[in-house]
């Protein structure tokens, strides 16, 4: 899915309520787009293969319980006959009856328990499988598929499959067995009438196929609508502050109602189909009864059939009817599960990112970017960028907003892959390196804060390789010691989701400490200093210099003053390297750099006072 650049949003079913684009040509093929156009998903039954034994047990238990259920009427009939003949031994009858009843109870309950266990296990394993698959995927895939879709896959899609296992598997198989048995009995009594009666089965089958075909498409759409709902809710939660500031609750409500109405309308479409399906099937089987009455009545009157046979015919038909209706009900479950499993299967079948490298050497820190082009959709984010960084040096990347600075850092961590060109560490292409080894040596401080719902300790020592002394050093370096000391629970304070209890600067420093705790060979800072006051920033950078000797530093920044003494400053504009060199060189040769410098001069007066 190399074409699925994160910028695409077409994977989600809809844009905002107003001006929702009807069709977006050139949307990503397949990327997380749930299969509206593809009505048939993969078969559900291969999914059950690993649970063969359990499924067999379910079927056997269902069959046994059903069989025993047929015994009860016979016991009653026999008891009444024996009583009428004066030969009844009441105690025997009662004993037999109770034995059968208890056996049915136990069989049914065991069957239910096995079904519950099986369905929950299938659900759990399926979720585990999806997550294991996601774990091998790269960032562009996850971003292209969107959180809302993956959330639907892992919850409501899996639930639909679960329902299929818990309700449909046993009843469908035992229903088919009953239908075949009853059909054989019908044919053995009177094959002409039997055939006439069984003629309704193809009618039922055709009705099923037609309705199911349409329902499947609708189920796909229904899940898309749920994705859309998820997205609207999610954005209304993440944007809660903005919504309250501009008082746009009403607008959010409108968006939600649009998504909700879509979900309702699709639901009603499905409902109309099903509301007609089950009565039609029942009506078909009733027609069979009608056939028996008219045709069978004719045979009996003509003497070709006995009354007893006629009665038997009727009772076998009633045995036939129930499973047919049951399958009708279960088809709903099956259709939903089929559509859902189709979506899940697409996640599972998505190709894993290409070739994993194996090089795990310790990095020196030489970085070479040669002639890299990177596209976001149509837009060039980086345009033939080349850059050389020597191990142990400090490099700053400066440039206006949207110059491609962040993308450059993503390339250097392997979070994004270039459209063309090469990225090398110590003379080896980044692809040759083992991902884990690379990530353990390249610390990346992201621009926006990402906090986990864990303790501060776990947030900072997020990588598993962090030892206690690494943690302490990182906290010292990021100037977090005082802050942590001020917390009643210190490092064991739980950070809430989205880090809402922390200030912007605190979050930024925690992010830095998280990267430093790796003891990285290369440190990438993405606009780290934007949220930290100048005094703290200087302290921190000095700390880094002192505590992490030999570190190769690449800092994306807006401010020239703190990086004036860096070994190299790269000026990036509109995805192109405009100039690079030391501060002095750039001041001499690059008018754009001078312009940026001048724009910051007034500040420097104060900041030099402050320093």
CB-wise, 192 or 436, nearer to other proteins? Answer: 436
Segment 195 to 254, residues that bind other proteins, using CB under 8 A = 226, 229-231, 233-249, 251-253
- Closest to 396 in 3D by CA, of 603, 604, 577, 540: 577
Q: Is 186:199 a contact under the CB 8 Å cutoff?
A: no
Residue 188 found at the interface with other proteins (CB under 8 A): no
Residue 555 found at the interface with other proteins (CB under 8 A): no
Residue 62 found at the interface with other proteins (CB under 8 A): no
Q: Is 296:310 a contact under the CB 8 Å cutoff?
A: yes
- Closest to 4 in 3D by CA, of 450, 417, 429, 421: 417
Q: Choose, by CB under 8 A, the member of 509, 513, 522, 544 that binds other proteins.
A: 509
CB-wise, 184 or 238, nearer to other proteins? Answer: 238
Interface region with other proteins, contact rule CB under 8 A, candidates 174-182, 343-351, 423-431, 482-490: 482-490
Q: What is the CA radius of gyration of the chain?
A: 35
Compute the CA torsion angle 494, 497, 502, 503 (nearest 10 deg). Answer: 160
CB of 582 to other proteins, least distance (A): 20
Q: Choose, by CB under 8 A, the member of 38, 435, 457, 538 that binds other proteins.
A: 435
Structure tokens at 467: 């030892």
CB of 116 to other proteins, least distance (A): 4
Q: Is 557:403 a contact under the CB 8 Å cutoff?
A: no
Centre a 10 Å sphere on the Cβ of residue 366 and count the other Cβ atoms it contains. Answer: 18
Segment 558 to 587, residues that bind other proteins, using CB under 8 A = 558-559
Segment 18 to 37, residues that bind other proteins, using CB under 8 A = 18-19
Segment 513 to 542, residues that bind other proteins, using CB under 8 A = 514, 518, 527, 529-536
CB of 402 to other proteins, least distance (A): 5
Segment 77 to 106, residues that bind other proteins, using CB under 8 A = 79-80, 83-84, 88, 90, 93-94, 97-98, 100-102, 104-106
**Distance of alpha carbon 145 from alpha carbon 139, whole angstroms:** 10
CB of 22 to other proteins, least distance (A): 14
- Closest to 347 in 3D by CA, of 135, 50, 38: 135
Q: Choose, by CB under 8 A, the member of 43, 92, 306, 453 that binds other proteins.
A: 453
Compute the CA torsion angle 144, 148, 150, 154 (nearest 10 deg). Answer: 180
Phi and psi torsions of 263, nearest 5°: -60, -40
In sequence order, what DSSP letters do the residues of 203-221 get, joined into one string? HHHHHHHHHHHHHHHHHHH
CB of 603 to other proteins, least distance (A): 4
Segment 584 to 603, residues that bind other proteins, using CB under 8 A = 595-596, 599-600, 602-603
- Closest to 27 in 3D by CA, of 300, 354, 377, 466: 377
Residue 415 found at the interface with other proteins (CB under 8 A): yes
Segment 106 to 135, residues that bind other proteins, using CB under 8 A = 106, 108-109, 112-113, 115-117, 119-121, 123-124, 127-128, 131-132, 134-135
Residue with tokens 């040769």: 589
Segment 370 to 399, residues that bind other proteins, using CB under 8 A = 376-379, 381, 398-399
Residue 500 found at the interface with other proteins (CB under 8 A): yes
Residue 408 found at the interface with other proteins (CB under 8 A): no
Q: Choose, by CB under 8 A, the member of 179, 363, 396, 502 that binds other proteins.
A: 502
User: Which residues pair with residue 12 across a beta bridge?
Assistant: none
**Distance of alpha carbon 478 from alpha carbon 525, whole angstroms:** 13
- Closest to 452 in 3D by CA, of 494, 490, 492: 494
Interface region with other proteins, contact rule CB under 8 A, candidates 195-203, 363-371, 425-433, 460-468: 460-468
User: Which residues pair with residue 379 across a beta bridge?
Assistant: 376
Strand 428-429 versus strand 420-425 pairing type? antiparallel
**Distance of alpha carbon 527 from alpha carbon 68, whole angstroms:** 74
Segment 289 to 328, residues that bind other proteins, using CB under 8 A = 289-290, 293-294, 297-298, 300-301, 307, 310-311, 314
CB-wise, 30 or 269, nearer to other proteins? Answer: 269
Centre a 10 Å sphere on the Cβ of residue 587 and count the other Cβ atoms it contains. Answer: 15
**Distance of alpha carbon 554 from alpha carbon 563, whole angstroms:** 11
CB of 313 to other proteins, least distance (A): 11
What are the distances in angstroms from CA 273 to CA 71, 221, 261, 265? 37, 15, 18, 13
Q: Choose, by CB under 8 A, the member of 207, 286, 455, 543 that binds other proteins.
A: 286
Number of residues that bind other proteins (CB under 8 A): 183
Q: Choose, by CB under 8 A, the member of 258, 347, 396, 440 that binds other proteins.
A: 440
Residue 462 found at the interface with other proteins (CB under 8 A): yes
CB-wise, 536 or 547, nearer to other proteins? Answer: 536
Compute the CA torsion angle 227, 229, 234, 239 (nearest 10 deg). Answer: 130
CB of 269 to other proteins, least distance (A): 10
Long-range CB contacts for residues 18-24, cutoff 8 Å, separation at least 24: none
Residue with tokens 């698959």: 133
CB of 29 to other proteins, least distance (A): 18
Q: State whether residue 578 is helix, strand or coil.
A: strand
CB-wise, 226 or 475, nearer to other proteins? Answer: 226
Segment 256 to 285, residues that bind other proteins, using CB under 8 A = 256-257, 260-261, 263-264, 267-268, 271-272, 274-276, 278-280, 282-283
Interface region with other proteins, contact rule CB under 8 A, candidates 53-61, 359-367, 423-431, 458-466: 458-466
Tally of helices (H runs) and strands (E runs) in the chain: 23, 10
CB-wise, 240 or 349, nearer to other proteins? Answer: 240
CB of 217 to other proteins, least distance (A): 18
**Distance of alpha carbon 451 from alpha carbon 494, whole angstroms:** 10
CB-wise, 318 or 388, nearer to other proteins? Answer: 318
CB of 88 to other proteins, least distance (A): 7
CB of 148 to other proteins, least distance (A): 9
């Amino acid at each position: 899915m190399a074409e699925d650049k994160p910028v695409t949003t077409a994977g989600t079913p809809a844009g905002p309520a107003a001006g929702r684009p009807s069709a977006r040509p050139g949307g990503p093929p397949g990327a997380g787009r749930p299969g509206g156009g593809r009505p048939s998903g993969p078969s559900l039954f291969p999914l059950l293969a690993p649970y063969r034994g359990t499924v067999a047990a379910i079927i056997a238990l269902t069959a046994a319980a059903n069989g025993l259920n047929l015994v009860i009427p016979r016991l009653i009939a026999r008891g009444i006959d024996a009583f009428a003949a004066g030969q009844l031994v009441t105690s025997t009858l009662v004993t037999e009856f109770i034995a059968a009843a208890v056996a049915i109870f136990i069989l049914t309950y065991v069957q239910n328990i096995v079904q519950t266990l099986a369905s929950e296990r299938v659900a759990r394993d399926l979720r585990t499988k999806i997550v294991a698959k996601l774990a091998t995927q790269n960032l562009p895939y996850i971003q292209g598929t969107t959180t809302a879709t993956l959330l639907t896959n892992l919850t409501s899609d899996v639930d639909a499959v679960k329902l299929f296992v818990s309700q449909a598997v046993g009843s469908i198989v035992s229903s088919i067995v009953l239908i075949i048995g009853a059909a054989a009995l019908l044919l053995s009594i009177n094959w002409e009438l039997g055939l006439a009666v069984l003629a309704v089965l193809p009618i039922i089958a055709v009705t099923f196929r037609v309705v199911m075909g349409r329902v499947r498409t609708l189920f796909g759409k229904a899940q898309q609508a749920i994705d859309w709902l998820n997205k609207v809710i999610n954005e209304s939660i993440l944007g809660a502050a903005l919504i309250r500031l501009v008082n746009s609750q009403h607008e959010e409500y409108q968006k939600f109602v649009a998504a909700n109405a879509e979900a309702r309308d699709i639901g009603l479409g499905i409902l109309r189909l099903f509301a007609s399906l089950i009565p039609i099937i029942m009506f078909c089987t009733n027609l069979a009864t009608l056939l028996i009455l008219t045709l069978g009545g004719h045979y009996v009157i003509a003497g070709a059939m006995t009354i007893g046979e006629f009665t038997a015919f009727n009772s076998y038909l009633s045995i036939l009817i129930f499973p047919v209706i049951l399958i009708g009900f279960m088809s709903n479950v099956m259709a939903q599960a089929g559509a859902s499993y189709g979506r899940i299967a697409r996640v599972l079948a998505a190709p894993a990112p290409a070739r994993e490298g194996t090089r795990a050497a310790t990095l020196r820190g030489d970085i070479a970017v040669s002639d890299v082009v990177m596209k976001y959709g149509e837009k060039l984010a980086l345009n033939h960028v080349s850059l050389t960084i020597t191990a142990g040096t400090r490099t700053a990347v400066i440039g206006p907003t949207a110059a491609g600075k962040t993308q450059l850092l993503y390339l250097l961590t392997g979070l994004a892959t270039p459209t063309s060109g090469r990225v090398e560490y110590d003379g080896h292409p980044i692809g040759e390196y083992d991902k884990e080894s690379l990530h353990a040596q390249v610390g990346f401080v992201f621009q926006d804060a990402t906090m986990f719902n864990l303790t501060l300790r776990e947030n900072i020592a997020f990588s598993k390789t962090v030892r206690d002394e690494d943690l302490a050093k990182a906290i010292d370096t990021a100037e977090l010691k005082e802050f942590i000391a001020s917390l009643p629970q210190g490092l064991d304070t739980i950070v809430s989701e989205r880090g809402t209890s922390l200030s912007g600067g605190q979050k930024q420093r925690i992010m830095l400490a998280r990267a430093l705790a790796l003891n990285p060979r290369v440190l990438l800072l993405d606009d780290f200093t934007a949220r930290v006051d100048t005094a703290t920033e200087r302290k921190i950078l000095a700390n880094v210099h002192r505590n992490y000797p030999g570190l190769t530093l690449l800092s994306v920044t807006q401010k020239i003053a703190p990086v004036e003494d860096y070994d190299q400053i790269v000026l990036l504009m509109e995805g192109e390297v405009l100039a690079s060199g030391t501060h002095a060189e750039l001041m001499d040769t690059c008018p754009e750099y001078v312009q940026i410098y001048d724009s910051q001069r007034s500040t420097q007066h104060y900041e030099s006072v402050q320093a």
